[in-house]
Amino acid sequence: MSDHLLSTKGFTRDRAVALLDVAEDMADTQRRQVKKLPTLRGTTIVNLFFEDSTRTRISFEAAAKRLSADVITFSAKGSSVSKGESLQDTAQTLQAMGADGIVIRHSSSGAAHTLATSGWTRAGVVNAGDGTHEHPTQALLDAFTIRKRRHGDDSRGRDLDGLRVVIVGDILHSRVARSNVWLLTALGASVHLVAPPTLLPTHTEGWPVTTGIDLDAAVDDGPDAVMMLRVQRERMTEAFFPTAKEYASLYGLSVARADRLPATSLVMHPGPMNRGLEIAGAVADSPRSTVLEQVQNGIGVRMAVLYDVLAGDRAA
Amino acid sequence: MTLRTLLQADDVRRAITRMAHELVEHDPDAERLVLLGIPTRGAVLAQRLAAQMTRIAGREVPAGVLDTTLYRDDLAGQPTRPTRRTEIPVDLDGATVVLVDDVLYSGRTVRAALDAVTAFGRPAVVRLAVLVDRGHRELPIRPDSVGRNLPSAKTERVRVTLTEVDGDDAVTIEGGEQ
């Protein structure tokens, strides 16, 4: 269906639903006696991680292996990248080694797009997070998780029409938020962004969202899901809020706030969590929390993405 | 391009009834008989066969759906195929499994189905039932029950339509003679 997965921007409802439906089928295969599928046998996938990420890397690795692909993991630390090798040289080396697919995480926004369009490699490229730009597979697994909680075994073919999702926290630096904005709205959900004024992007006019700075008002509005973002200290070179304590009290999902949500509202977090900062430990561990389901669903969703990008005929 | 109808609705129904009898007679002592249809039309056929076999055998013959997409060996070189939901109604370990499809051609779908079945367990026996066998096998695969043998040219296109999906029951053949 597609040559690369770089972004959820431009996804149609039908494309998103089709991909989530394949993810349902992939998740089902993981309940079989033999979980390994022969689908990508003979395909080589390189996990190219220029930025630390344990869970996304492991999730992609598990997904690729369940599809019988050969997986090579390339972490920037300890590689020639630390000796100054450029993305171009790395990509050309991987091309020469016969990589069919490249899963890339990079601290620069647009790195995945550059890799896919540069002509350095003919491999199918999957964006596993680029700077503050996009993290499309995270958004897909979030949408999958919401749909699964809503509709259970009856999820196939359905979108998220009419659901209201609040995304809270460091929107400014969050590629998870951006990918979710495009994907969730393509699926018919409405998205409300809540953040301190310093952590809201200044130009959200083109975004199909509403924004606010008041978490209590957003909670009392009774959303279907509240997605808490991690406070990304590593991307914060300036002081975006006075103290962690103040952030937690104004923008943290405390037990008291979570208790005011409707009984069916979900609490989501892409991980890793700063317990006690953006989310209270007791809320993260409560029945309405989908944190572990998100991790589990990530494998099926990534299997679907790798299948979509790598199984069929490639244009290049 | 010409379109000829080879089996009318009555022919299709008679063929299915005969196959149901044949399959029951084939495994009269099978305690755990289960039909697995390959989407889309094989799954419909499996439902119909199972209903008739339940009546003939006097005991419940369950039917499920087995998607073979992820086990195919010909995924490359064509657009990505959508997957379909697999539904296995019973434990397949030790069961007598009958794979059901509408048209048997190269045999590659059946080969993939054999792989898919073994992901669920180790059946005692696996059989194959098809409504139409049009020949041109590329693999050593042979059906146990056939509704109708229809020798065809490779350039022709054999199409099974079923009421549940297509609105009517028929087998048609298209093209071939330039």
Task: For residues A285 and A306, state if they share a domain.
Answer: no
What residues are paired with B125 via a beta bridge? B96
Cα separation, B178 vs B163, in Å, equals: 31
Annotation says A121 is catalytic: no
Torsion of CA B128, B134, B138, B141, to 10 degrees: 20
Residue A195 tokens, joined: 């953040």
Q: Among residues of chain B, what percentage have pLDDT more than 90?
A: 88
Note whether A156 and A280 are same-domain residues: yes
Whether B121 and chain A come into contact, CB under 8 Å, resolves to: yes
- What is the residue-averaged pLDDT of chain B? 94
This complex has an ipTM of: 0.90
Looking at residue B130, its amino acid is V
Is A114 among the residues known to form the active site?
no
Q: How far apart are CA B43 and CA B45, in angstroms?
A: 5
B83 neighbourhood in chain A, CB within 8 Å: 21-22, 25-26, 307
Answer yes or no: is A193 within a domain.
Answer: yes
A276 shares a domain with A160: yes
State the CB neighbour count (10 A cutoff) for residue B54.
17
Residue A296 labeled ligand binder: no
**pLDDT mean for each 10 residues of chain A (316 residues):** 88 97 96 94 94 92 97 79 78 92 95 94 96 97 98 97 97 96 98 96 91 97 97 73 90 97 97 94 98 97 97 68
Active site residue A105: yes
In a domain, A306, yes or no: yes
B36, B68, B70, B93: which to substitute to probe chain A, counting the most A Cβ within 10 Å?
A: B70
- Structural domains counted in chain A: 2
Whether residue A167 sits in one domain with residue A44: no
Residues A100, A229, single domain; the answer is no
Is A32 contained in some domain? yes
Same domain membership, residue A257 and residue A224: yes
In the predicted structure, residue B178 carries a pLDDT above the cut 60: no
Q: Domains along chain B?
A: 10-74+83-152 (3.40.50.2020)
Angle value at C-alpha A292, between A289 and A295, nearest 5 degrees: 130
Q: Looking at the structure, do residues A117 and A155 belong to the same domain, yes or no?
A: no
A169 is in an annotated binding site: no
* Residue A316 maps to a domain: no
A158 is a domain residue: yes
pLDDT (mean) for B28-50 = 94
- Count Cβ–Cβ pairs < 8 Å, chain A vs chain B: 62
CB A199 within 8 A of CB A235: no
Is A235 a known active-site residue? no
Chain A residues near residue B120 by CB distance under 8 angstroms: 32-34
**What CA–CA distance (Å, rounded) separates B173 from A234?**
65
* C-alpha distance from B149 to closest chain A C-alpha (Å): 32
The whole-number pLDDT of residue B18 equals 98
Contact A113, A269 (CB under 8 A): no
What per-residue confidence (pLDDT) applies to A316? 43
> A22 vs B115: CB contact, 8 Å cut-off?
no
Residue B37: which H helix or E strand, with range? strand B33-37
Q: Is residue A4 part of a domain?
A: no
Clarify whether residues A127 and A168 are in a common domain.
Answer: no
Q: Residue A293: what residue type?
A: E
**Per-residue buried b or exposed e for A208-245, using 16+ beta carbons within 10 Å of the residue's own CB:** ebebebebeebbeeebbbbbbbbbbeeeeeeebbeeee
Q: Is A245 a catalytic residue?
A: no
Kindly state whether residues A141 and A286 are assigned to the same domain.
yes
Beta strands in A62-145 (DSSP E): 70-75, 101-106, 124-130
Is residue A227 located within the same domain as residue A305?
Answer: no
Residue A315 included in any domain: no
Decide if A313 and B76 are in contact by the 8 Å CB cutoff.
Answer: yes
Q: Do A148 and A126 sit in the same domain of this protein?
A: no
- Please check whether residue A155 is in contact with residue A181, taking contact to mean a CB–CB distance below 8 angstroms: no
Instruction: Check residue A1 and give its pLDDT.
Output: 45
Domain, as residue range, for A148: 136-291
pLDDT at position A200 is 94
Query: Is A105 labelled a binding residue?
Result: yes
CATH of the domain at A46: 3.40.50.1370
pLDDT at A241: 85
Summarised one tens digit per residue, pLDDT across range B120-176 is: 999 999 999 999 999 999 999 999 999 999 999 999 999 999 999 999 999 999 987
Question: What confidence score (pLDDT) does residue A82 get?
Answer: 64
Is A175 annotated in a binding site? The answer is: yes
Is residue A183 one of the residues assigned to a domain?
yes
Global confidence as pTM:
0.94
Residues A97, A199 share a domain: no
